[in-house]
Structure 1
Amino acid sequence: MSSRLRFAGLAFALLFSIAAAGDPLAPESALERSGYMRLTTSVEVSKFLEQLALLSHFVRKEQIGRSAGGRSIDAVWISKPSPVRTTKNTSLPRLTILLVGTQHGTEPSGGEALLLVARSVALGGMKLLLDGADFIIVPNANPDGRDLHRRVNANNVNLSTDFVLLSQPESRAINDLLLRVRPEVVLDVHESAILKKKTLGREGYLTDFNAQFEIGNNTNIAPEIRRLSLNRMLPEIVREVRRRGLPAQRYIGEITSIRQPITNGGLSLKNLRNKAGMLGAFSFLVENRLDPPGNYPTHRNIRERVAEQILSIESFLKVVRAHAQEIMGITRTARMTPLPRSVYLSTAYERNKTQPRISLQLRRRDTGVAEKRWFDDHRAIATAHKLNPPQAYVVTAHEQPVAAVLTRHHLRYEKITNRRKLAVHAQKIKADGNPLKPGEPAAIHAYPAELFLEPGDLWIEARQPEGLILPLLLDPRSTSSIFAYPPFNAALTRGREFFVYRVP
């Protein structure tokens, strides 16, 4: 792992500059105070943010929610008063940037890095960024996982994939923040273990990467956002990270076997990156390397891991700043586009016909020696079931749990009070003799019908601020459908008329 050793000097210099810059009274994180031998607890994260708020009138701390285990989920808002607008500066964009860390409790370096980034933006060398941006930083999105040393929250739920059902208070807190603040830019900060003991490690290999970046890649995100993100910003971020000495690439989906196909990041709305993108934000993920157990100068090489996350975040922010005016213009246009517009219900990866195979570098687990392996390349994206959203949706069964999900997404609905007849498009789940599997989009037969609405049925207008996601949540063919998840998938019965109807 000589590349890691070569980077160690840069890592230390980076951390030292961030720690030393700005106010001499700037707080240290518990990780810093321990000499990088002990992680910062959730209570200590909150205290650190409180200290920042006391030291700078640019900083405000806010509790945005509580975890399933009752722990505080905190954000810091860092901004300075906007300059008086004149004829010379009226076009200057001022972005709102949301940075989120530690959705997975066993990936702590992102949260530790965001504490130091918050300090640097408020008091240190990154303070210049406040001339063109306001920051909202949530360093510890999964305080249960951080304190309990586990990936999931106290309810054993993976928060990073909970943005369809929003079943957990932590994911709801982040979603509520997105809708309240409407950031133009979002970065979700993660780590990934290079040693996967139960999967790839058993085949004798480790993954070999330092920094990976992914965009909001659901095909229903505004095309202008996807184009700028994919064609210009992503390559520039990767180049900037490499220029600063850290190997970087576009995100490759988790490798658990040397025989699997290769994809990019997940395409559905279950992750923060795509949910934020559907709300009109330029949304990215960064995933840095989580070292396996070994002999390091600090606990699990945490000093260097934090430094790599900081370098990746700084590089990301540099590219965002360079594109600030474009970002502001595109997000404004995307959010003003009249609804509804057509959507693709199904989005999936398929074999890349122009490049069916790709080689990736892995490392032998026993020797650490680099080795190239060939994989099927499935990074092409296929779409299906294009739908022009209807006037409204009607739900005639399971109204209470469906209404609960709609409320979590801030989607409005009404309850029918009087019986009446209505022309609708009905759907029937095709019967092929096989039960539906969890996560499986349903095949349907659609046909016109007449329906009697009964008191208590739900009426959901499609033309509302977040109406674009309604078809993705309520249509059983959608890869982001609530009916792909328990307990809703149990409500789908093959050969029976589906209880969600489209009103043309």
Structure 2
Amino acid sequence: MKISVAFLLLCSSLAWGRFVPPTPFELEKKQSLPDSRTIDAYLATLVTLSPRARLVVLGTSAGNRPIQALLLSASPSFLQHPANEPHKPTVMLFGSQHGNEPSGAEAMQQLARELVAGEHAALLGRLNLVLVVMSNPDGRDMSSRHNANDDNTNVDYVALQAGETRLLVDALHRFDPDVVFDAHESGIWKRVLTREQGWMTDVEAQFDMGNNPNIDGPLRDYTEGRLLPALIAGVSAAGLAATRYRGEITSLEQAVSRGGLGITNLRNYAAMQGRVSILVENRLDNKSGTYATPRNIAERVRKQHLSMLTMLQLVADEADPLLAVSRQARQRWVSADGDGRTLWMGVSFGTNRDKPEVTLPLVRFADGHKQLHRFRNRDAIVVREPVTLAAAYAVTRERERVARWLVQHHIAFETVAEPRELPADRLKITAVRKQPDARPGVREKVRAEVEVTRDAVTLQRGDLLVPMSQPLAPLAALMLDPRSANALYQEESWNWLQPGEFPVFPVVEY
């Protein structure tokens, strides 16, 4: 006799002494996706069923849809006044920043349902959870990567053009997570690789971390050397083949690298704040395939759920060493360089001289035949222009606009009240070079050639000083310095990179 999914879930909930209704997706027998309003209503229902859950409105999207965070914890104080607790990591999960990658949002609802029903009971005693189930509700309802204003919020963490990105940055500061987990899906069908060359990528679960070389050294070493390998091994042991993330494969002739190095994405932005930051990309199956559910959505949700649950269990087991490096990084940044104060303005990928080629699995589109293909390997991180972190940065142009932008990033600054003469490095742009359209790892559109002169500079009333003694100093410096591949001025609306003396510069002491 066939037993319905809803009945099985009911029995499971009753075994824990509490009835928790299936998610909207489960009620539809995994044949259709609920809209954002239905998901919001379900999250509100979960809160009514458990004293361990609270729903917090973060704000509204460009399309006037609410963006909410579901808090889950055994700690009443965390639910009411979220703050870090000793020996207990705060983990913040982001679902569906791209609205056309929906399985992360569904997996989070399933995970929330299970926790409210009493499953995985130990987790809520060991972790404080913040679930942003729909980071982009507009994209969810439109089945789009973008929001209602056509913003791709996933690469907006420097400019903060989109309201959604600003809300998520505010949430990072409000809940101050030790761990950030960003759930995505990766399409296996590519225009050139599949349609013209006949192959698809063969991935189940790919994981990456904040990998910008300017991330706090001990934090980056811990994540790359210990946590990420353990996560990949754990997911693989649970039956889902997992690997370290490789960049998009769109052609047999291309070189491959790793996930991008730029701080415009959440993964590197959060890590630059001193947080353990993990990305998962589970397989987004081909539209033309034949599956038990539309585009294999039930199986995709299962993979996302397994990836999330394995990550949470690992973080709970790793609580002590993880908290030590993450909380120390948020108090005092230490660069990976020997002096602990070096920032690398230039970052990119280059040829891995120790392993110039790599073999990766592909699947033939016509018949499903699996085959290994060799690719040039450009996953070596290349750095240039080392700069010692200054005492401060001075801003002398569009000061009110820059001040608003600094506030949005939660970066502290002061406004000069009276003229002040300070020793500083004047930055003169001598040339601006357009960069190749496709440079793996960065979004550096132009590169400024800069001449540096130590001089006394007089700041005027209303100029801004951004001290580099604050926890967000390395992040601020990378975004403010015109020599940086991650500078704000790479964004179209901040096109300040022109020959001549630059209006933002390092102050030696003040």
**In 1, Cα distance between equivalents of 2:327 and 2:486:** 25
Q: Map 1:25-174; keep pairs closer than 5 Å.
A: 25-81=19-75, 93-174=87-168
Once the two structures are superposed, residues 278-310 of structure 1 have per-residue CA deviations (whole angstroms, 9 ceiling, x without a partner) of 222111011100111122111111111000111
Q: Which amino acid aligns with 1:501?
A: F
CA distance in 2, matches of 1:56, 1:181: 20
CA contact (8 A) 2:96 2:105 kept: yes
Whole-Å separation in 1 of the counterparts to 2:312 and 2:332: 27
Amino acid at match of 1:492: L
| Deviation for aligned residue 1:45 | 1.4
Aligned 8 A contact 1:92 1:325 in 2: no
- Asked whether the equivalents of residues 207 and 255 of structure 1 are also in contact (C-alpha less than 8 Å), the reply is yes
Q: Does 1:270 align with 2:264?
A: yes
Q: Report the Cα offset of residue 318 of structure 1.
A: 2.0
Check the 8 A contact 1:77/1:136 in 2, yes or no: yes
Q: Which moved more, 1:341-350 or 1:412-421?
A: 412-421
* Equivalent position SS for 1:430: strand
- Matching of residue 309 in structure 1 with residue 304 in structure 2: yes
Which string of whole-angstrom CA distances, capped at 9 and with x for unpartnered residues, describes residues 347-401 of structure 1? 2111100000111111222222212221111111112222222122111223233
- Look up the match of 1:229: 223
Tell me, yes or no, if the aligned pair for 1:18 and 1:124 is still in contact at 8 Å.
no
Say which of 479, 488, 493 aligns to 2:498: 493
Contact 1:120 1:127 in 2 (8 A): no
* Deviation at residue 18 of structure 1 after TM alignment: 10
Q: 1:18 to 1:481 in 2, by over 3 A?
A: farther
1:296 maps to: 291
Query: What is the TM-score when the length of structure 1 is the normalising length?
Result: 0.90
Cα distance change on mapping 1:166 and 1:92 into 2, 3 Å: closer
> Which residue is equivalent to 2:82?
none
2:469 equivalent among 446, 463, 474: 463
- Counterpart residue type for residue 32 of structure 1: E
- Residue 190 of structure 1 corresponds to which residue in structure 2? 184
SS in 2 for 1:345: strand
1:78: Cα distance to partner?
Answer: 0.7
CA distance in structure 2 between the partners assigned to 1:241 and 1:215 by the alignment: 16
Aligned length: 483
Q: What is the deviation of 1:407?
A: 1.5
1:388 aligns to what?
388
| Partner of residue 176, structure 1 | 170
2: distance between equivalents of 1:165 and 1:433? 21
Give the unaligned 5+ runs of structure 1: 1-11, 84-90
User: Identity percentage over the alignment?
Assistant: 35
**Structure 1 residue ranges, 4+ long, deviating more than 6 angstroms after superposition:** 15-19, 432-438
| SS at structure 2 position matched to 1:206 | strand
Q: Which secondary structure does the structure 1 equivalent of 2:191 belong to? A: coil
Moved more, 363-372 or 417-426: 417-426
Q: Whole-Å Cα distance in 2 between the matches of residues 119 and 319 of structure 1?
A: 20
Whether the 8 Å contact between 1:18 and 1:125 is mirrored in structure 2 is no
Letter of the 2:465 counterpart: W
Summarize the Cα distance change of 1:433–1:196 in structure 2 as closer, same or farther, 3 Å threshold: closer
Give the letter for the 2:12 counterpart.
Answer: A
Counterpart of 1:20? 12
The question of 1:473 aligning with 2:467 is answered: no
- Residues 187 and 285 in structure 1, CA contact (< 8 A), matched pair in contact too: yes
2:399 paired with 1:399? yes
- Cα gap change, 1:34 to 1:345, in 2 (>3 Å): same
Q: Are the equivalent residues in 2 in contact too, given 1:18–1:116 (CA < 8 A)?
A: no
Q: 2:207 matched to which residue of 1?
A: 213
Structure 2: tracts of 5 or more residues without a match: 78-84, 335-339, 438-443
How far 1:74 moved relative to its partner? 0.7
Query: What are the superposed Cα offsets for residues 13-67 of structure 1, whole Å, 9 maximum, x if unpaired?
Result: 9x96799354552122221111111112111111111011100001000111211
| 1:253 paired residue number | 247
Look up the match of 2:449. Answer: 443
Amino acid at match of 1:164: V
Q: Describe how 1:359-398 pairs up with structure 2 within 5 A.
A: 359-398=359-398
Equivalence for 1:4: none
Deviation at 1:117, TM superposition (A): 0.8
Measure how far apart 1:493 and its partner are.
0.8
1:337 aligns with 2:342: no
1:379 partner letter: D
TM-score (norm 2): 0.89
For 1:324, the equivalent position in structure 2 comes to 319
8 Å contact 2:446–2:490 — kept in the other structure? yes
Cα distance in 2 for residues equivalent to 1:139 and 1:386 = 39
